[in-house]
Amino acid sequence: MHKFFTMRNLTGRARTFFSPVVIVILALFVNSELTAGPAKRDGAKPGVVLMCVSAHPDDEDGATLAYYTHIKHIKAYSIFYTRGEGGQNVIGPELYKELGEIRTEETLAASKILGTKVYFLGFPDFGYSKTAKETFRMWGGNDNVLQRIVYMIRALKPDVIITNHDTITTLPYRQHGNHQVVGITAYEAFAKAADPAYHPEQFGNGVGPWQVKKLYFRVLRKSELNQDSLVSIPVMQRSGGETIQQISWDALKKHRTQGMDKLNFHDIPEAFRQHVYKLILSVKKYPYNPHDLFSGLKPTVRPPVTLAKQYAVVLKPFSIFVHPKYSRVRDDNGSNEVFRFWLDTFNHTGAPLYFSLFAYHGKDQFFLEHEVLSRAVRDSIAFPVDVPVTAAAEDSVVISVAPHEVAKSLDLGRPSDVAYLRRITAKFDRSDYIGLVGTYDNTLAQTLSEFGVKYDPLDSATLAVGNLNRFTTIVLDIRGYLYRHDLVKYNSRILDYIRDGGNVVCFYNRPPEWNGHAFAPYPIDITNHRVTEETQPVTVLQPENPLFLYPNRITPVDWDGWVQERNIYLPSGDTSLTSSEYQRLLAMSDEDQHEPSTSLLWAKYGDGTYIYTSLALYRQVKDLNDGGVKLLFNLISQPRH
């Protein structure tokens, strides 16, 4: 039996950490993406080991990791529970698994700067979660999560574990639900990794019970920075001419899909700019050093370890992704139809690849073409597929590549991806003429083109001096006021367009780029609130509003089948912050929550109308969800006055 010291044992303070009670709900086991063979770790020399556990790429404390690798020359690991594929992408249209591939590349690029070794536990990033309960359910239950981090602890044998996350599961201080689960399982794994009765099937190949010496949680609230016995990492020390802080900043900027390359260091809250830790668990009382997490620990020799295959390699040597993931079936007479796809390839072999491209539709196989892939890590190939159309509401085409003989020695397997064919009933007004202020996501442009909606992309010259009144509606794509500096500059012309009788549809923005500006006709204050449970019921507050009637009647079934979330970055419900001039059209909330009814706002302004929506509509339209496409067409099809 191990005796662990809590904060009360070590400092005499009254606060003690307890492992929260969690509801274990078994769900589908999510297989790891890893495909390559085991990797051996050389542990011949005595030393100490640091492990940082994080929910998503860029959640790690890069400065602390860099301090110990660059200054103290200590082996350090970053363990990520997910690949971040459920997040946003501010540099392109890639989402889901392909975004996960890109974020993995970003993480590895950052790790080269930090000097760390990266591993992934393989849990799915299903988007923002508010509760540990939901995350445990989506990740297969408490024990499924706990046993994976226990395995990594037993294999890599860290002396110290750090995390930016914690075990708080209640408001107002709880983090993202994924973060809560990392904190909870890190806490529980402190004892479980050393317990020989816990998952003994993990033992072998150098893996056995292991006792972590110390567990630290980072202090991220300014009010807690003046506690006793905290450890502050001296990140202003220099290595190779740069401070550790700057090295970590260089690494963070590799996460371009999350906009980290544009982040201003001075905009980060003070507590996040400091790297201060609180000791949560310790196997015994060690000497205290205010600037060293390893105080009192002695180097030990670790035996060589062969990691299980599912964790050993973080990137497949070769991956493919088909776009668009969803295509509209146009023909109803049962004849053949040509669908055009793009194949995005990720080649991490370092060599040119030769392969043949095949398509499978039902029992039919179609040879498409031979392809030669350059040495480039990323490439794209355009190709058509001519398939017989069935009467099914949804059909699919499997795209597969067969590497040639010269590539078989690389153990690439036969990668494949699926494209779906859907029948859509959504209608649009044939008189629509849309002006699109596009951003980094191409979903709206592709959808308008796919359905034959007349539109023009609005460039800087058009925004500055062009005739905007020729458009029936102007659409401002997601995060337009971050991505389009010309939109910010010429926003007064957008307001004039509305006043003259035009319609504007503005998709969601985030607080940093929006709040403090007068972009909308009347005040709107953006918050970080959202409805993350995509199956939660939706109440239409004004069923007779034309947005729910023309050209498509929106019915309860049109809210079914949504993915990831209902809405994101909701405007405040306070009418002193978000004007009462806006009609609140929809109400929805997560379980046991009460979010403001501001996901769809509509207002008259002069002779025209202004719509602001924080609905996660682009995800639904990208998947050709019929209800999502109907609502999009209703938003853009209101008559010009």
Over residues 568-606, the pLDDT tens digits come to 999 999 999 999 999 999 999 998 899 999 999 999 999
CB-based burial of residue 37 (10 Å sphere; 0-12 exposed, 13-18 middle, 19+ buried)? exposed
| Confidence (pLDDT) at 428 | 95
Q: What are phi and psi of 98, to 5 degrees?
A: -70, -40
Query: In sequence order, what are the residues at sequence separation of 6 or more whose Cβ sits closer than 8 angstroms to the Cβ of residue 451?
Result: 328, 426, 428
| Confidence (pLDDT) at 29 | 27
| Confidence (pLDDT) at 4 | 52
Tokens 């492992």 correspond to what residue?
Answer: 19
| pTM given for the model | 0.87
CA distance 180 to 7: 19
Closest CA to 539 of 553, 559, 567, 519: 559
- Contact between 382 and 368 under an 8 Å Cβ cutoff? The reply is no
Buried b (16+ CB within 10 A) or exposed e, 276-312: bbbbbbbbeebeeeeebbbeebeeeebeebbbbebbb
Give, as one character, the DSSP assignment of residue 67.
I
Q: What are phi and psi of 462, to 5 degrees?
A: -65, -40
| Confidence (pLDDT) at 11 | 33
The parts of the chain modelled with pLDDT lower than 70 are 1-44, 332-334, 406-408
Kindly list the structural domains of the chain, giving each domain's residue range(s) and its CATH number in brackets, ordered by start. 7-11+42-302 (3.40.50.10320), 318-420 (2.60.40.10), 433-636 (3.40.50.880)
| Confidence (pLDDT) at 288 | 97
